[in-house]
Chains A and B, each alone.
Chain A
Amino acid sequence: KAGVTQTPRYLIKTRGQQVTLSCSPISGHRSVSWYQQTPGQGLQFLFEYFSETQRNKGNFPGRFSGRQFSNSRSEMNVSTLELGDSALYLCASSDPAQDYGYTFGSGTRLTVV
């Protein structure tokens, strides 16, 4: 079974630009969650999607948005990038019907210059 695939792996953007990150969950998983990891704030929850609906949202500004498609692939978008958005962005997929928890992708490392 293929794992969680995140693209791209690395990204360098300029302040003020926008960026779109992609996450393909494990086949059959309908839940996708996104996290931001920084040295100062640790792992912070961004949002969770289930069957194309946002089910939970973290405490991030409206510049951070996401969506999920009918094939469960998810994208997150950050508009008007700031230097503080530099981070490792991780997505995780899960199947609420099974008791083995979340599987994470390798992440996208975003650097804003």
Chain B
Amino acid sequence: GIQVEQSPPDLILQEGANSTLRCNFSDSVNNLQWFHQNPWGQLINLFYIPSGTKQNGRLSATTVATERYSLLYISSSQTTDSGVYFCAGGMKLQFGAGTQVVVTP
């Protein structure tokens, strides 16, 4: 099956900082998605981004499908951005191990 690798595994940010999360896929996927899991376990779909760039407020994502990777950008981070960020894709929507983000005041 498809392997999904996320980096970094952990990220500690001061409020207001910017950051970039990366997701690599072992094979092409046409349904790449980014999710945020809050401390209560709820998974929120941030982006459906098989290719190209999308923006939603302070978050944006870019997928380079030909090179099998995607980037999630968090700008001007806030404490509410804390949680685990997952990318996922493939026929069985394979998930990466996630990036644990902690934003400190």
- The chain A residues found within 8 Å of chain B, CB to CB, are 33, 35, 37, 42-45, 48, 56, 58, 88, 90, 92, 99-104, 106-107, 109
Q: How large is the interface on B (under 10, 10 to 19, 20 to 34, 35 or more residues)?
A: 20 to 34
B92 touches A106 (CB 8 A): no
Query: Chain A interface mostly helix, strand, loop or mixed?
Result: strand
In the complex formed, the residue of A with least CB distance to B91 is A56
Partner of A104, one of B40, B43, B47, B91: B43
Indicate if the CB atoms of A104 and B45 lie closer than 8 Å.
Answer: yes
B33-58 at interface with A (beta carbon < 8 Å): 33, 35, 40-45, 47-48, 50
**8 Å CB interface, B57-95 against A:** 86, 88, 91-95
Contact A45 B94 (CB under 8 A): yes
Q: Contact between A102 and B93 (Cβ–Cβ < 8 Å)? A: yes
Is the C-beta of B19 less than 8 angstroms from some C-beta in chain A? no
Complex contacts, B40 vs chain A, CB 8 Å:
106
Count: A-B pairs, CB below 8 Å: 48
Q: Does B14 contact A (CB under 8 A)?
A: no
- Residues of B that sit less than 8 Å from A by CB: 31, 33, 35, 40-45, 47-48, 50, 86, 88, 91-95, 97-98
Contact A56 B92 (CB under 8 A): yes
Q: Which residues of B contact A35 (CB under 8 A)?
A: 95
Residue from the list A42, A58, A106 in contact with B41, Cβ < 8 A:
A106
Cα distance, A103 to B88, chains bound together (Å): 13
Q: A90-B43, A99-B48, A106-B42 are in contact. Are A43 and B86 (CB under 8 A)?
A: yes
